[in-house]
Amino acid sequence: MKKMTSFSIFFILSLLSLSLASQISITIINNGEKLEPQTNWRSHDEVMGLYESWLVEHGKTYDSIGEKSKRFEIFKDNLRYIDDQNSIANSTYKLGLNKFADLTLDEYVSMYLGTRPAAVESEERISDQYLPSATDTLPISFDWRQKGAVTPVRNQGRCGSCWAFSTVSSVEAINAIVTGDLVSLSEQELVDCDTSNKGCNGGNMERAFNYKAVVGINGYKRVPANNEQALQNAVVHQVVSVGIDASSRTFQLYKSGIYTGDCGKSINHAVNVVGYGVENGVDYWIVRNSWGTNWGENGYVRMQRNVQDTAGLCAIAKWVTYPTKTASKSPLPLRTKGIVRILPQQQTCYQGNSPCSSS
């Protein structure tokens, strides 16, 4: 009887210990990474296989085994986040293992975001040209890519020069619209020579539009802030430069679909709006980025349009600017003395080999 009692007590204590250990394990996971237990997720071998394939796809190499291991842990954490976000029911967009999958959010922000919004030079810069009116009849969808006014997506590399890429894209487009000729231009002169901006350390499109070598345009104007209808009207007439808040993890890892993710209003990235549309009842902007074709939808992101916030999703309607041009203006902007056409397009951050002319 005593042996039976001792065994029963031992058995009960064992069960209690296992239960307590299980609770402690779950608590550590929840309070730490806030992720599901490993047994409910991908195996180590599967994640490592995805990592090795991703390294090959994106041509990634690291200086040391330690760095590769560190990047693997970041990659794994981003993959967990991607799986978690993609499991949300009825989401209109998907995340994926894009070129930024081995970066923390802080690293991504510091390396790739570089727009610095400008104060309005004068009230004359704010134009009512594209303010909506009762007589406006705008198409349901519109896309300047289909009208031959947009060059292929480029890659700014690890350089905070998004402002230069946005400027050049808008200038290329207005030249094409006015002259009928789409001339591909380089951002290098702006990055290297426009001293009003900071090259790879940031800048803004309005100062770039004012740069003396941008001889193909008359100047620039702003669309009144916080008005998505005015932005839509502007886009029907030309490609525009906009500033957005791209500092969210969902934007970093965006893959496809209509982006509706959480983001703020602190403008830190410059892009172009080249059109708009609607899919399954969701209105969207067609946004051209400068991170190459292996990010998003071949370098583009569709962002939700006509949201409740007047600034638009990620503040897309907060700072909208565009170059102005008459037919008499030269179709070849961004020229300096002795340079007929700016250097051929590059696919990396521009440093050295400056086209700047000192005379």
Concatenate the DSSP letters of all residues of 160-193 into one string.
B-HHHHHHHHHHHHHHHHHHS------SHHHHHH
Question: Which candidate in 175, 193, 289, 314 is catalytic?
Answer: 289
Residues 6 or more apart in contact with residue 206 via CB below 8 angstroms: 118, 121, 125, 220, 222, 321
Residue type, 148: G
Residue 67, Ramachandran bin (φ over 0: left; ψ between -120 and 50: alpha; else beta): alpha
Residues 6 or more apart in contact with residue 176 via CB below 8 angstroms: 148, 149, 182, 183
Read off the tokens for 60.
């990634």
Residues written for the chain: 359
Torsion sign across C-alpha atoms 228, 230, 233, 238:
negative
Read off the tokens for 148.
């031959």
Cross-strand partners of 256: 94
- Alpha helices by DSSP H, listed for the chain, are 2-31, 44-57, 65-86, 105-112, 162-179, 188-193, 205-210, 228-237, 249-252
162 in active site: yes
Angle, nearest 10°, between helix axes 44-57 and 65-86?
110
289 in active site: yes
Read off the tokens for 156.
């700014």
Q: Vertex 332, ends 326 and 338: CA angle to 5°?
A: 135
| b/e sequence 266-303, b meaning 16+ C-beta within 10 Å | ebbbbbbbbbbbeeeebbbbbbbbbbbeebbbebbbbb
Residue type, 138: L
Question: Which candidate in 263, 269, 272, 314 is catalytic?
Answer: 269
Question: Which candidate in 162, 193, 263, 314 is catalytic?
Answer: 162
58 in active site: no
> Catalytic residue numbers?
162, 269, 289
